[in-house]
Structure 1
Amino acid sequence: MLLARAVLRRDAAQLDARLEAHDSFYVGTDVFDTFLIHNDLWWIGRRQRDPAEFLNEVDEARRRALGGVFSPSTRRQFEEMLDYFGEWPFIVRSSSRLEDRYGNAFAGQYDSVFCSNRGPWQQRVAELLAAIRQVYASSMSEEALRYRERRGLLGDNEQMAVLIMRVSGTAGGRYFHPHAAGVGLSVNPYRWNPRIDMMAGVIRLVAGLGTRAVDRSDDDFTRLVALNAPDLRPATSFGEIARHSQRRMDAIDLLEDRVVSGPFAEMVRDNPDFPLDLFTTREDWDKPPFLTFDRLLAETSFVADLRTMLERLHAAYRHPVEIEFALNVLTDGRYRINLLQCRPLQVRSLEGTVSVAPPADVPRLVDAQGAVIGPSRIIRPDRLIHVVQSRYAELRQDDRVAIARLVGALNRASADRTLVVLGPGRWGTRDPWLGVPVSFSEINRVAALCEIVAMNDNLIPDVSLGTHFLNELIEADMLYFALFPGRSGNRIDEEAILGRPSRLLELLPHARRFADVVHVVDFEPGSATLFADAERQQVVLACA
């Protein structure tokens, strides 16, 4: 964050008047190392670098970290920091050696913790120390260790620093939040319209805290903005735009001392300075407004400022970057952008092309039109995992979770395969009623992932660029696409797929009760081809 701000001061001085000054403290890795030693965690950390035993003590490491103590001198410095902030909310963010360097995304592997910073002084001190302990504990978690193992980083010495930052925003009644926040990528892997320049960048914009931009919100939508064509959006008609606009927002509840989500209209009701005219649109005068950010994008220099910011940072880093930012609008209509984070974005390629059209005389198992993330490419799969929507819809919640674990087991059993996975609703959802609740590690060997939009009539694919889940897909160079049954250009020949022998029970004999839910097809070498055209937003899976 500090480096990125220095780059902008040097290379984009015209933005200086619109950049909000940062207000943060950096807690170095020496404090982390001392904490490990004082709380008997040092040798556990060393053993976690051994591939043979790295998961053996994760529970003990978490227990010791969350119950750890700081030296008296360190605690005094934290207390002085708290006196500086007064009762203003702050966030404790990880800033580790491995996550900040080039080569690996570390998307969502380490915790960030908001602190409302209200109440008696001793309570606020305890809240700060608990937040730092939580960030430290996350560096030794099973999820983080498995990620490091997958990326060949287990033997590296992870050094955890933290940033303690004043939260950007103001209080509107009981709720504290910035007016808007978001994630920006200096390259755009989702070209839903030929006018979009993939090198111009993209932002994902939300009202309120940026937590809804970096985490998938299965109950809501966000505004996706291609920076060279901000008027374009995946939804086309006015009705679609209204249905697919953000309805809920996140804020710090100053009474309950936690981050909460609630209906947008209710959260801003007591905030007379919220820029409703700039952020919202009405379909009719007698209907409530909904969030579009149209005037912000069309009538201010916000888009130009974000594009300049991303271009300058991309050039300075000599690499695609990802930023997090907050936005606050002043009462006179001017605005301030707070650059909260800048890290290298792990993108393997954006320059894929498909020069060969799908053959007209070869049977097609899948035709999909409408949402493709990733560069164009041709994939020659030799295994297909299909989660049958009609059967999945009949399952109880615990069985849906079991299906996610089953997909993970098949993923691990397919290390030497080129794998395509089809399934209903959202992959990676936290809500089993909306899709298949896998973690990324359970699909990390997949070449192409398809979301069949059939779980809910109002559920569209969550093209959630900038979220931790999508960043991991992009880092892995995985193709994502959606299939809309019943919509023109979309079709799945489920009869042909299910008519082929399933290898599920050969691979996982214990999975017999789910044999009609998960179908595993192996293709003869060279018989199946997946054609993905990102410019036309079209995917075809053909099989002789």
Structure 2
Amino acid sequence: MQHSPVIGSGIPALDSILQGLRLGDNVVWQVDGLDTYRKAAIPFVRQALLDRRRVIYVHFIPHCDILTPLSGFLAEEVDPRPGFDSFSAQLNKIIDENGRGVFYVFDNLSALVAEWATDELLANFFQLTCPYLRELDTVAYFALTRGQHSHSAVARIRDTTQVLIDFYHVGDRLYIHPLKVWDRYSSQMFLPHLLSNGILTPVLVSGDASAISQTASKSPLKVKADSIAPWDSVYRKLAQYSEDELSFLEATPEIQALKQELSQMIIGGHPEFRRLADKYLTLNDLLSIRNRLIGSGRIGGKAAGMLLARRILLNDSSELDFSGVLEEHDSFFIGSDVFFTFLVNNDLFRLRLRLTRNSQISPEEFEKVEERFLAGSFPQEIMEQFKDLLAYFGQAPIIVRSSSLLEDGFGNSFAGKYRSEFCVNQGDPEERMEYFLRTVKLVYASAVNPDALSYRHLRGLGESDEQMAILVQRVSGMRYKSFFFPPLAGVAFSHNLYRWTDRIDPNQGIIRLVFGLGTRAVNRVGGDYPRMIAVSHPQLRPEVGCKVATYSQREMDLLDLSANDFASTPVARAISDLDFPNLHLYFSFLDDGYLREPSGPRLKSLKDGILTFNRLIARTDFVKIMRTLLAKLEKAYGYPIDMEFTAFVDAEGRIKINLVQCRPMRLTGLTEVASIPEDIAPDCILFRANRTISGGTVPNIRYILYIGAESYARKASLELKQEMGRIVGEINRHPEIVRQQIMMMGPGRWGSSNVALGINTTYADINHTSVLVEIAREEAGHIPDVSYGTHFFQDLVESQIIYLPLYPDDPQADFNLEFFQNSPNILSRILPEAQRFEEFIKVIDVPAVTGGRFVQVVADPRQQQALCFIRDHEC
């Protein structure tokens, strides 16, 4: 396409961002006052006159002038008071008489509503005038007062104009945020920019952008005003009051009843959630949620947990004022009703019903189901609200997260069962919308993925009302070079099940901390280890000496803005310039087998650098803040909690936390006292383990699924390794196995996506096991990850599966390799089609080998000891 000459706006920094104006552009400025509009209009007129352009100022009688007299431009007056017809005719005559290539500045269009009393006529005027001006190769400036017009009128103007820009104050600072720039694109075009001394500085830190955007856009979504549904009826009754009036009237019976009704509609009816919502959420909180809710329905457990946790912390500032610690959030919510509308409109409802009742689906079948979801479409009203959402965030990365009604609830976390999808959110508006819609549909499809169905079935939730709401969050972090990521992220637990020394107080919790996106903290990844911080003794580590380097993080997850995709990269490569803020708080250095800390705030090299976060722990309030935060949330919930977070250290050394997610933990049975028997005959012992997290006793284990570490590492082809997870899953679901107790033992990390590091199973492949053992043989490259805090471990916790890392080479392990190698393999009998895996996967029928005896496992997390032995009156 051949573009017209570039036209200057009079603000060079803006021209750089917009790539200039073009002949035919209509430019609409959404402003917070006439003085703000003048800051855009006057430079434009001066530049146009300097470029020897004809400029006409169209003044609406009898309203205030935008432009003071300047030599060189022509002022034309039009009177809107006689009505739309007369006004349009006057303006049409002016445009006709002045012809092509003229530049125009119009008074604030909001003044027309004062005369015509309707937004509809305002939108009609713009849709009539804008295309005509474009045909004549003009450049025209218009203004709208922000927040004064209906969303439908603004949408019509947005769809018609070529350029739409938000121009507003937050405090005494002035911001420019382009919302639409037709046929132009740059990597920072749609971000909010601070205007100061003629310089536009993009807002690159998520917390700053959130605070600015939320202040500037109180009601960012189009909402139909004519609905008679109870939802909107209750909302309208409450919305007639101001915030101050609601605070004053909230205790009255009428307002209390309306609040209860609105809370039921938004949060739901679970007694514990209702208790917390009634205590901590105000009416203004609920109305704020409604203002950011797309469609209708509930917001789901994940969204409710995040909002409640924030409010719990902000309401009580007796020990620590969290208003100075927590980042602002400006999340949006896609209501659960939209999920059902999508299913019904795209002929997917019966498919979901069938899959839910059946509770089993293969990965191959699920891929076809995903394709059907991806082919679906949304109603026009919802699409308009999606446009508002994307316009609000601009090019800021966002994450689309499942928030089903059952998710993050009391007893069922659904950790990692449903999808969360990053939208790096780069490209032009059409590209960004296409990718956003894809992520929403993938989250919807995940409601029937194999892991989710297995999880629901095991917990008796197969017939429960499971609607999928969605939480859309701004990704917390900052732009650095062509990347976007937070410096700190992780998961934290108010109760610590992983005590590697008796000095640790389990009631003060534990933190699993990484550099970059928190995906590396909740997923099992290869060759990398997060920093485990016991809150009671933060400087203690499970590792000592040079082992600290072995068990540390080397790679990081981030968003690659240039590739518009999620990526993993070596930490040293991502921050090779060493100018990323506060690196001295995160890195230590290995020197002759000893750790040393950086000598100053600026690192000279990352050679021998290790991510320990030692100075963050020792020299900032990070651990103190997390300790207080975890204790407050556990006290309010009445249960231990786990939470996901991001964090950063600001220029003054203060810690800022973004609370991403919060849910209660289910610990039933995992902290029970289990005494290790001392009188077991040596020939009855199968193994000892000296690292355990969960406790308890599992008697009467009939089957053992055993995959040898050496044969897996040295003999199994890549193809066989990739298929082993599927075979394990078929054994796990076999009717003969399900009726009995089974223990699974395999090399390295169960649940790893990297087959070189372990068996690539999912939750649905191991959910019937009673004990899961990870066999570590370092010479074979298999090192278990005590992955406390990952979604995989959360599955084990909730299913009360005892998890044991086992080091056969440790003299204290008492590993009976002969038993596992020489016992007969019944794999071909129970799964004839898996015969070619017999060399690697062994299923042992214990009573058939031991003369009718069973295996028992006893694990004591306090002593970090576990024993597996053959039960017998002689043992």
Which has the larger displacement, 350-359 or 440-449? 350-359
Q: Does 1:5 align with 2:317?
A: no
For 2:838 and 2:512, the matched residues in 1 are separated by 39
Q: Where does structure 2 lack aligned partners over 5 or more consecutive residues? A: 1-305, 592-597, 599-604
Query: What is the CA-CA distance between 1:508 and the residue it aligns to?
Result: 2.8
Matched residue type, 2:817: E
Q: Give the letter aligned to residue 367 of structure 1.
A: F
Distance in 2 between residues matched to 1:196 and 1:216, nearest whole Å: 25
Which stretch shows the higher mean deviation, 51-60 or 214-223? 51-60
Worse-matched range after superposition: 316-325 or 505-514 = 505-514
- Work out the CA distance in 1 between the residues paired with 2:854 and 2:378: 61
Matched, 1:213 2:513: no
**Counterpart Cα distance in 1 of 2:476 and 2:543:** 30
1:375 counterpart = 2:698: no
Q: For residue 425 of structure 1, what is the amino acid of its counterpart?
A: G
| CA displacement at 1:278 relative to structure 2 | 0.7
Amino acid in structure 2 at the alignment position of 1:219: G
| Corresponding position of 1:166 | 474
| Other-structure match for 2:348 | 41
Q: Does the Cα contact within 8 Å between 1:280 and 1:294 map onto a contact in 2?
A: yes
Q: Which moved more, 1:432-441 or 1:362-371?
A: 362-371
1:472 and 2:795 matched? yes
AA aligned to 1:441 is A
Change (3 A) 1:409 1:118: closer
Q: How many angstroms apart in 2 are the aligned matches of 1:270 and 1:259?
A: 21
Displacement of 1:171 in angstroms is: 0.8
**After alignment, is 40-49 or 298-307 more displaced?**
40-49
**715, 718, 725: which is aligned to 1:397?**
718
Give, in angstroms, the shift of residue 250 of structure 1: 0.8
Q: Which residue of 2 aligns with 1:528?
A: 855
Q: Distance in 2 between matches of 1:271 and 1:147?
A: 45
Name 1:30's counterpart in structure 2: 337
Say if 2:660 is the partner of 1:340: yes
- Normalising by structure 2, report the TM-score: 0.59
Q: Which residue of 2 aligns with 1:416?
A: 739
In structure 1, distance between residues paired with 2:498 and 2:662:
20
Counterpart pick for 1:269 among 542, 553, 576: 576
- Correspondence 1:71 to 2:379: yes
Q: Aligned residue for 1:327? A: 647
The percent identity for this pair of structures is: 38
Q: How much does 1:297 deviate?
A: 1.3
8 Å CA contact 1:497–1:521 kept in 2: the answer is: no
Q: 1:248: how far off?
A: 0.6
Match of 1:381, SS? strand
Name the structure 2 match of 1:517.
Answer: 840
- Aligned-pair distance for 1:359? 1.6
Q: Does 1:119 align with 2:427?
A: yes
8 Å contact from structure 2 (residues 675, 858) kept in 1:
no
Superposition deviation, residue 52 in structure 1? 8.1
More displaced, 143-152 or 444-453?
143-152
Closer, same or farther in 2 for the Cα pair 1:433/1:80, shift >3 Å? same
Q: CA deviation at 1:2?
A: 0.6
Question: Does the 8 A contact of 2:402 with 2:470 survive in 1?
Answer: yes
Q: In 2, distance between residues paired with 1:361 and 1:89? A: 60
Deviations 1:470-519 (A, max 9, x none): 11011111111112232231231111333344333333334433334333
From 767, 775, 787, the counterpart of 1:444:
767
1:100 deviates by 3.0
Show the 5 A alignment for 1:469-508.
Answer: 469-508=792-831
Secondary structure in 2 matching 1:127: helix
TM-score where L is the length of structure 1: 0.93
Q: What amino acid is aligned across from residue 439 of structure 2 in structure 1?
A: A
Q: Distance in 2 between matches of 1:124 and 1:513?
A: 47
Give 2:555's aligned amino acid. R
Superposed CA deviations along residues 138-173 of structure 1, whole A, max 9, x for unmatched, are 123333223222322121221111111111111110
Structure 1 window deviating more from structure 2 (210-219 vs 357-366): it is: 357-366
Residue aligned with 1:420, SS = strand
Compute the displacement of 1:69 (Å).
1.5
Which structure would you say has the larger RCO, counting Cα contacts within 8 Å and 6 or more residues apart?
1
Paired with 1:457 and 1:512, the residues of 2 have a C-alpha distance of 25
1:197-346 map, 5 Å: 197-237=505-545, 239-270=546-577, 272-284=579-591, 287-346=607-666
Q: Is 95-104 or 529-538 further displaced after alignment?
A: 529-538
Please give the per-residue CA displacement for 1:260-287, whole angstroms capped at 9, x wherever unaligned: 1111111123472421111110123884
* Counterpart Cα distance in 2 of 1:308 and 1:511: 53
CA contact (8 A) 1:358 1:542 kept: no
Alignment of 1:150-189 (within 5 A): 150-189=458-497
CA contact (8 A) 2:675 2:860 kept: no
Q: In structure 2, how many angstroms separate the alpha carbons of the residues matched to 1:77 and 1:267? A: 36
Change (3 A) 1:331 1:64: same
Q: Structure 1 residues 83, 129: closer, same or farther in 2, change over 3 A?
A: same
**Cα distance in 2, alignment partners of residues 281 and 424 from structure 1:** 31
- The CA distance in 2 between the partners of 1:100 and 1:518, in whole Å, is 35
Is 2:678 the partner of 1:358? yes
Cα deviations by residue, 1:404-462 (Å, 9 ceiling, x for unpaired): 33332332331222222222221112122222222222221211111111265665321
Which aligned pairs between 1:54-69 and structure 2 lie closer than 5 A? 58=366, 61-69=369-377
Do the aligned partners of residues 456 and 354 (structure 1) sit closer, same or farther apart at CA in structure 2, a change above 3 Å counting? same
Counterpart residue type for residue 384 of structure 1: I
Structure 1: tracts of 5 or more residues without a match: none
State the shift of 1:525 in Å: 5.7
Number of aligned positions between the proteins: 543
Structure 2: distance between partners of 1:485 and 1:436:
18
Name the structure 2 match of 1:430: 753
Between the aligned partners of 2:433 and 2:836, the Cα distance in structure 1 is 52
- 1:271, 1:356 → 2: CA distance? 51
| Cα distance, 1:59 vs structure 2 | 5.3
CA contact (8 A) 1:201 1:307 kept: yes
Answer yes or no: is 1:132 the counterpart of 2:455: no
SS at match of 2:812: coil
Secondary structure at the counterpart of residue 269 of structure 1: coil
CA distance in 2, matches of 1:369, 1:57: 39
Separation in 1 of the partners of 2:643 and 2:759? 29
Distance 2:856 2:819 in 1: 15
Map residues 449-460 of structure 1 onto 2, 5 A cutoff: 449-454=772-777, 456=779, 459-460=782-783
The structure-2 alpha-carbon separation of the partners of 1:76 and 1:511, relative to structure 1 and needing over 3 Å to count, comes to closer
Q: Deviations over 1:43-93 (max 9, x none)?
A: 323333433898898555422321221222211111112121121111111
| Alpha-carbon separation, structure 2, partners of 1:164 and 1:530 | 44
Shift of 1:25: 1.0
Residues 168, 178 of structure 1: 8 Å contact kept:
yes
Amino acid aligned to 2:330: D
Instruction: Supply the AA of the counterpart residue of 2:538.
Output: P
Distance 1:241 1:58, change over 3 A: closer
Distance of 1:359 and 1:540 partners within structure 2: 12
- Asked if 1 retains the 8 angstrom alpha-carbon contact of 2:674 and 2:695, the reply is no
Partner of 1:540: 867
Is the contact between residue 44 and residue 57 of structure 1 (CA under 8 Å) also seen in structure 2? no
The answer as to whether partners of 2:514 and 2:530 remain within 8 angstroms in 1 is yes
